[in-house]
Amino acid sequence: MHIAALKGHGRTPAPAGITRSIASASARNSSRRVAAPSSLEAAEQTVHTILERYLADVPLGPHPNGRHDPFEAILERSAFPRIERIERVYKAPLRPAIESLVGSEYTISHVLTRLEGRREAFEREVRAALGSLDAIGQIWLTLRDEALIGLR
């Protein structure tokens, strides 16, 4: 049995009889939020609404609908068509900061390129709209980590 890829937090030895072949296929590891306090969701929505206004007259990047097929489909077509999923749901503390809310929007493909010279104005407007996030304080998020493993 061969594992196409196993991405996660740290290295885990392969079980007996299993060898890794990382270069042979693609897999995915991600954290997704399951639940968050409404105060954080409202702050995130404010940032997103301001960003949408700044990008309204700018064409979408070259991959507005996604770069590739879902990872499950890629693995199914590969030499590692059997797919296993590992999931873990847990709670994690967070102290929201304006920088992290803005930075989260910047992780979306081509946002910085599309903002061009308007980045500073966008960030100033976000700071003015949100003020200090100190009132939110530390909150707890419910997150889900997920990894796909392609097997032969």
Tens-digit pLDDT profile for residues 83-133: 999 999 999 999 999 999 999 999 887 899 999 999 999 999 999 999 989
Name 148's Cβ contacts closer than 8 Å, sequence gap at least 6.
27, 28, 29, 71, 72, 75, 83, 84, 85
Question: CA 8, CA 62: separation in Å to the nearest integer?
Answer: 29
pTM: 0.68
Tell me the HSE value of 6 on the side-chain side, using a 13 A CA sphere: 18
Q: Which residues face 93 on adjacent strands?
A: 140
Average of per-residue pLDDT across 51-68 = 80
Note the pLDDT tens digit of each residue in 20-50.
333 333 344 566 888 999 999 999 999 999 9
- Which value, in Å, is the radius of gyration of the alpha carbons in the chain? 20
Residue 65 pLDDT: 60
